[in-house]
Amino acid sequence: MKRLWLVFAQAVTVLLAAYFVVGTLKPEWLGRGALPGGTVSILEAPSTAPSVQAAPGSLSAAVRKAAPAVVSINTSTSARHPLSNDPWFRFFFGERGEQQQSGLGSGVIMSPEGYVLTNNHVVEGADAIEVVLADARSASAKVIGTDPESDLAVLRIQLDKLPAITLGNSDALQVGDQVLAIGNPFGVGQTVTSGIVSALGRNQLGINTFENFIQTDAAINPGNSGGALTDINGHLLGINTAIYSRSGGSMGIGFAIPVSTARQVLESIVKNGQVVRGWIGVEPNELTPELAQTFGIKTAQGVIVTGVLNNGPAANAGIRPGDVITQVDGQPIRTVSELLTRIAALAPGQPAPFVLQRRGQQVDTSVTPAQRPAPRMRQR
């Protein structure tokens, strides 16, 4: 009995010794890489692979989705000195050749076919345009069309496997929603800032003819123009366009063109080469108490017509100075900006219903809009 016990004890001792040696020198043979209690084994380095799960509150998933579709835009323009034709200038300073001026901006890839949306003022007057992607690829861009009245332009590049951004719903935005601004401020490279929607429907800023801006406090600086304003899911909500600033830098007041407007402009330019808008030939003004008293108007809602173009669509439909337009195509009208936007959305040549107030009486009429004339060039 004692002999069997001695053999058993020796066998256990040998097995424990072998287990210790194998566990120390070849732990993978035992299918483990850590010691009990969760301590990482000194013989196997911890994994350095990045975690795919974002930290609580992180917006990295939205950035990963949207950032590849946001591009940097470099422009160059040849410019002559304004006095280069003056003989006295040439006498004192000699012949001055053309000088290259460069510009920076941002853009958003809207489709895998290579259509890029940006601001008109980013590419206006440029002789050469280069688009640089987030993955460092670059390509020369061709201007497909521009729309100075909304300050948007459509470019096209020829590259394979282009990442297109996902469009969001800017009409569902509410003040206080979180947003991201992605662009190339000051040419430092792609930069992401965050903030909230500060206000909606901003207009009468004197920036564009058609204004319906999203206001945000996400930091937007020179070079961000044409970049993306996205929601926390990485969906495009707007095209960053302008800032209010006294120093040239961000003061927490930035403006973006809603994606609903940008999409209409993109589709019209791609289809027609230009933006086709409706036009009726009236001079509208906000309805003030003074104008209401002058024209004997009792309604408090609408836009008053102070001028009508002879033989224009509005004149042919019987609209007169002093009429108040309260509805266009079934949509209520409260401001001049709303009136211009509603009329611009009408298809030229297709009659649309208008509701007017004339001396306290409601007047229903039908107006057949014409195509809006091309705007005159203006200094920005």
Q: Which residues are catalytic?
A: 121, 151, 225
Residue found under tokens 């330019």 = 269
User: 251, 244 in Cβ contact below 8 A?
Assistant: yes
Query: At 191, is the secondary structure helix, strand, or coil?
Result: strand
Q: Which amino acid is it at 117? A: L
Of 181, 204, 203, nearest to 252 by C-alpha is: 181
Which helix (H) or strand (E) covers residue 178, if one does?
strand 178-183
Rounded CA gap, 193 and 62, in Å?
12
Query: At 63, is the secondary structure helix, strand, or coil?
Result: helix
Structure tokens belonging to residue 102: 């460069």
278-279 and 303-308: which strand pairing? unpaired
Rounded CA gap, 163 and 113, in Å?
10
Structure tokens belonging to residue 43: 């013989």
The number of C-alpha atoms within 13 Å of 134 and in the hemisphere containing its C-beta is: 23
